[in-house]
Amino acid sequence: MYSAKTLMLNNGVEIPQIQLGTWLINNDDVRKVIRQAINVGYRAFDTAKDYGNESGVGKGIWNSDVERSDIFLTTKLPTAVKDYKGTKKAIDDALDRFSLEYIDMLLIHSPQPWIEVNRVDDRHFEGNLENWRAMEEAVKAGKVRTIGVSNFLQEDVDNIVNNGSIKPAVNQIEVHIGQVPTELMQYCEELGIQIEAYSPLAHGRLFNDHKINLYAKKYHVSPAQLMLAFDLQLGCIVLPKTDNIKEMKENLNIDFKISADDMHDLVELKENMQTMAI
């Protein structure tokens, strides 16, 4: 089963391969959701400043019966911050909101502020390097264990790899059946950068897809379990989001393998919908 499976990042830090995403879970509710997930067996959680629920995530962690050292917490910088001083302040503010001494992984949420995504060509190379410089200092100061990026294209990754001192540990991007950015994934793999797959369930859009349901029946699993197994077999860390305990348990219970032929068929399946950065 994948519930207890971990992967080794390029800095020697172990990370659980199945985590709970918290996008769109509000700050008041997420504390309870985190505690329920910990009771079910989750030991890793993904959030962001722009999700507006960091303080609730922190309360869920330090109110649980599990040692802090057994929890892997990821958060992301606000996308509007693209300067060194602003990044340093954002890191300290995040620690205050969490009421925790350190963050396991900190990501640049997007190479561009949300207001510019898909609207301008500026990739903010200098601003992202300012982010990265402050993040590297946070690692050296013990405030953050590992750092990475999210929604980065190859040119954005190159900018950090060629100019930074620490290589990104992960690139968190959208990966699911119907949306497999093979070239970018292979490029990151060649650099030793782990892919984290957000929206591995495609926001539920494909649960009624005929082919996915045929394969789910073949393996005697739910469409959600099939989709998670797909990403896991691609070598991704997966971040399924749910506040439903039954679904939490189901998403952890991935104990089957998709055949090589079926994986090839599913990789070729295309989804005719626009992706959404989160």
Between strands 20-21 and 44-46, the pairing is parallel
Q: What is the 3-state secondary structure (H, E, C) of 198-266?
A: ECCCHHHCCCCCHHHHHHHHHCCCCHHHHHHHHHHHCCCEECCECCCHHHHHHHHCCCCCCCHHHHHHH
Residues serving a catalytic function are 51
Q: For the purposes of burial, counting CB atoms within 10 Å of the CB of 102, is it exposed (0-12), middle (13-18) or buried (19 or more)?
A: middle
**Cα distance between residue 42 and residue 218, in whole Å:** 27
Which amino acid, residue 53? N
Contact assessment for residue 81 and residue 112, using Cβ atoms and an 8 Å cutoff: no
**Cα distance between residue 146 and residue 135, in whole Å:** 9
**Cα distance between residue 162 and residue 42, in whole Å:** 35
**Cα distance between residue 46 and residue 106, in whole Å:** 10
